[in-house]
A and B are shown apart, each in its own frame.
Chain A
Amino acid sequence: MFEVFELQKQLVAAAAPSGYEHREAELLKKLARPFVDEITVDPMCSVICHKKGKGPKIMLAAHLDAIGFIVAHVDEQGYVWFDRIGGHNPGQLINCRVQFLNGTKGVIRVRDAAKNLPQPSGALAFTDLYIDIGARDRADAEKHVRIGDLAIFEGAPRLVAGNNVMGPYADDLIGCVVLLMAMERMKKNDNDLYFVFISQEEVGCRGSITAAEGIHPDYGFAVDVCGTGDKPDDDKVPMDVSVGAGPTIKIKDMAVICSPALNGQLRAVAKKEKIPYQDEILRGGGTDTGSIQKSGAGVHATCVSIPTRHIHSPAELFSVSDVENAAKLLAAFVSQKL
């Protein structure tokens, strides 16, 4: 039986940035196999797990790509200059330890610190950041990395207080965990289910566009993370979502106004199954929900989110019970006769 923390650890160990999700895709295929009839990987590298049925088509989507870094240049002294994949706050990257997919490790630093550090974090350019991998010179460095190599945050998930987990890539490997757990928990049903691990969300929700076009679902559920309003000083812009108070049912984010009817159905299931949930309006940020909704001739779409603090940092924090409840909620929904 899948367990949230153990599963998340496995997925994080295989984390890979947008466009290069291969190793994560392979792991997810292996984990999903027992629960579905057919698994295909589309040209965008989205992993489509199909449990056949005669009923309506339901697409559940979580993105498998991670934000990361890609080597742009190795200089004569052996320092590695890079470009970003996905959204990063440059100021927050200073002194951040990273690991390349091939195992090489290093730390991000800023060029000419005396000049560049007395600036607001937003004024820092990515071209001013480099990775120190300890190499003696370019020749030594090129034994370990080359242009195009990828790096992610170093670190594994940790259990912290309150039955919470802290670590990199809750966004959105935890959504993939929800999908796997929903697959495992769902009851026998006649719905035509597509559990899709979507690629390239972090660089513009690209994988969901093509995946949704390929499937043409009747209903679409994205599973992602959302921000919370429970940090110190969050009373300035109140948001009524807290870690540990249940998964959310998304009402709106920057890229979608979720289907009110579908949300109504989801809430009814939650009430019936006694699953706690929170209402979510996310002022900043977009998810695959929008692309799914707009695909083909239109899809009834919404999103179930895992409340997560410190998104896009190496230490994202979420609640184990929120993940379990999200899986229960979606499993219950797809197990219905629709």
Chain B
Amino acid sequence: MLNVFELQEKLVACALPSGFESRQAKVLAELAKPYVDEVTIDTLGNVICHKKGPGKKLMMPAHMDVIGFMVTFIDKRGYLRFEPLGGHMAGALPATPVVFENGAHGVIFADAEAGFGKKNLTDIDIHDLYIDIGAADRAEAGKLCPVGSVCTFDCAPAEIAGGCMMTPYADNLSSCVALLIAMSEVKTPANDLYFVFSVQEEVGCRGAKAAAWHIDPDFGIALDVTRTGDAPSDAENTRMAVRVGAGPTVKVKDSSLLCNPQVIAHLRAAAKKARIPYQDEVLPAGGTDSAAMQRTREGILSGCVSIPTRNIHTPGEIVSIKDVQQAGKLIAAACELGF
């Protein structure tokens, strides 16, 4: 089976935020080629991998964009002001190292207006933060990191205890890894398969919508991450039953969609057949490509398989390597079971 950790490392090293996915798109297209009949890239940059099969059309998006930041202004001393791409809590960002597309390094800090220390951490305004790249002035900074350039968290995956890896962008690169595993494991498709590495999920599931319109599938199963209820950071009263290491989940519901029962049943049947342990997921938040698919054209029956992840949207997301493998196998099993 494909090596989860190595693939995560490879993807983290090239991934750029929403709207700028061409680097990881290229890598993923190359990695997918051996397992499918045709790989195409559409207007917005979605990578569509078609493995021909009989019966119903099944679209399986895993978004390949990651959260990050875009430079919007450079002051006269060479400090960068930025806007978020995707969801960030501004109060947790000071002291976070970032790396730019061209390899330049910087770190996010709060200016005096931010009130870091006086204001509640949840009230800190991202416009009162800046990135220090060490530049002497506006001109030097502008050459290295011009307005419009983007950056991501500057750290790499690490293997840790419990068979887990701690990595930036388990959301959603670990799902992209799982999708590659799924592609590589499918031997006899029972459906016409479209594996999609989608774009711009973190800023509103925009890629999956366009891809779904184009492919016009009968069913959709997204692959994403989900929160868990197994950490001290979770509140007692909203605790989820999902845990890292107890298997991939079959999503029942999140804030953006009620998964169609047919798809839930299909996934459960596939899991049973392939003897893959899974967890039931009800996420009291969130939004994924499955919602975008469900409401495209006349509607697409949709569901989702998720990888349980702690510390989502931080540089230290934690997933179980086995859960990633099993998520891939579950998708493969769903492909080999006719709708």
Decide if A and B touch, CB cutoff 8 A. yes
**A residues adjacent to B (C-beta < 8 A):** 75, 77-79, 89, 91-92, 94-97, 104-107, 109-115, 117-122, 124, 130, 132-136, 140-141, 143-144, 154-155, 158-162, 164, 166, 230-234, 236, 243-244, 309-310, 313-315, 317
Q: How far is the CB of B266 from chain A (nearest CB, A)?
A: 31
**Is A135 a contact partner of B106 (Cβ separation < 8 A)?**
no
Neighbouring B residues of A79 by C-beta, 8 Å:
231-232
CB distance from A289 to the nearest CB of B (A): 27
A164 near B134 with CB under 8 A, answer: yes
Residues on the B chain within 8 Å of A105, using CB: 158, 160, 166
Other than A105-B166, A107-B314, A112-B233, give 7 A-B pairs with Cβ distance below 8 A.
Answer: A104-B160, A109-B311, A121-B116, A161-B135, A162-B134, A162-B136, A315-B132
The 9 closest A-B pairs by CB, nearest first: A107-B316, A134-B164, A315-B107, A164-B134, A160-B134, A233-B112, A134-B160, A95-B314, A135-B161
User: Does B3 have its Cβ within 8 Å of any Cβ on chain A?
Assistant: no
Instruction: Name A121's contact: one of B96, B106, B117, B245 (CB within 8 Å).
Output: B117
- CA separation between A314 and B154, bound complex, in Å? 12
Contact, CB under 8 Å: A95 / B316: yes
Against A, the Cβ 8 Å flags (1 = close, 0 = not) of B134-168 are 11100011001000000000110010111111100
A-chain residues with CB within 8 Å of residue B158 when the two chains form the complex: 105
Interface residues of B in 281-330 (CB under 8 A from A): 310-311, 314-316, 318
On whether the beta carbons of B97 and A315 are closer than 8 Å, the reply is yes
The answer, yes or no, to whether B109 is at the interface (CB within 8 Å) is: yes
CB pair A120–B155 under 8 Å, yes or no, is no
Inter-chain CA distance A166–B91, complex, in Å, is 21
C-alpha gap A313/B155 in the complex (Å): 15
Chain A residues whose CB sits within 8 angstroms of the CB of B104 once the complex forms: 160-161
- Contact B311–A119 (Cβ < 8 Å): no
Q: How far is the CA of A244 from the CA of B137 in the complex (A)?
A: 12
A-B contact pairs, 13 of them (CB 8 A): A94-B92, A106-B160, A107-B318, A113-B235, A117-B122, A118-B123, A120-B117, A122-B117, A155-B97, A160-B106, A161-B135, A232-B130, A315-B107
Chain B 227-251 residues near chain A, CB threshold 8 A:
230-236, 238, 244-245
In the complex, whether B194 has a CB less than 8 A from a CB of chain A is no
CA distance A79 to B234 in the complex (A): 13
- B75, B132, B233, B316: the one contacting A309 at CB < 8 Å is B132
A132-B310, A155-B97, A315-B95 given; A236·B133 CB < 8 A: no
B256 to chain A, nearest CB (A): 21
B189: chain A residues within 8 A (beta carbon): none
Indicate which residue in A92, A107, A111, A134 contacts B232 across the interface (CB closer than 8 Å): A111
B57 interface contact, C-beta 8 A: no
Separation of A133 and B318 alpha carbons in the complex (Å): 9
Chain B residues at the A interface, C-beta cutoff of 8 Å: 75, 77-79, 89, 91-92, 94-97, 104-107, 109, 111-113, 116-123, 130, 132-136, 140-141, 144, 154-155, 158, 160-166, 230-236, 238, 244-245, 310-311, 314-316, 318
Interface contact A97-B155, CB-CB below 8 Å: yes
Given contacts A232-B75, A313-B107, contact A97 B134 (CB under 8 A): no
Are B161 and A310 in contact, with the CB atoms below 8 A?
no
What residues of B have a CB within 8 angstroms of the CB of A110 in the complex? 233
CB closest chain-A residue, reference B230: A77
A136 to B161, alpha carbons, bound, how many Å?
8
| A154-B155 in contact given A113-B233, A132-B231 (Cβ < 8 Å) | yes
Q: What is the CA–CA distance of A82 and B316 in the complex, to the nearest angstrom? A: 18
Q: Are A119 and B161 in contact (CB under 8 A)?
A: no
Q: Contacts A107-B318, A109-B231, A313-B107 hold; do A162 and B117 have CB atoms under 8 A apart? A: no
- B144 to chain A: closest residue by CB: A161
Chain A residue numbers with a CB within 8 Å of B316 are 95, 97, 106-107, 132
B238 / chain A contacts, CB cutoff of 8 Å: 114
**Contact A233 B107, beta carbon cutoff 8 Å:** no
Contact B134 A140 (CB under 8 A): no
Residues of B within 8 A of A118 (CB): 120-123
- Complex CA distance for A231 and B234, rounded to whole angstroms: 36
Is there contact, CB below 8 Å, between B94 and A92?
A: yes
Partner of A162, one of B120, B135, B236, B315: B135
Asked whether A114 lies within 8 Å of B235 as measured between CB atoms, the reply is yes
Tell me, in angstroms, the Cα distance from A107 to B112 when the chains sit together: 27
B117 to chain A, nearest CB (A): 5
Closest-by-CB residue of A relative to B155 is A97
Contact present for B162 and A78 (CB under 8 Å): yes
Contact B107 A310 (CB under 8 A): yes
Let me know if B162 and A314 touch, CB within 8 A. no
**Cα(A164)–Cα(B105), bound, Å:** 11
Q: Once the chains are docked, how many angstroms separate the CA of A237 from the CA of B118?
A: 17
Residue of B nearest to A133 (CB): B161
CB-CB < 8 A to A119: which residues of B? 120-121
Chain B residues whose CB sits within 8 angstroms of the CB of A317 once the complex forms: 107, 132, 134
Given the contacts A114-B238, A115-B235, A231 and B111 also touching, CB distance less than 8 Å: yes
**Chain A residues closer than 8 Å to B132, beta-carbon distance:** 166, 231, 309-310, 315, 317
**A154 → B minimal CB distance (Å):** 7
Query: In the bound complex, what is the Cα–Cα distance between A140 and B94 (angstroms)?
Result: 32
Q: In the complex, what residue of chain B is closest to A111 when comparing beta carbons? A: B232
Q: Are B112 and A112 in contact (CB under 8 A)?
A: no
Give chain B residues whose Cβ lies under 8 Å from the Cβ of A133.
160-162
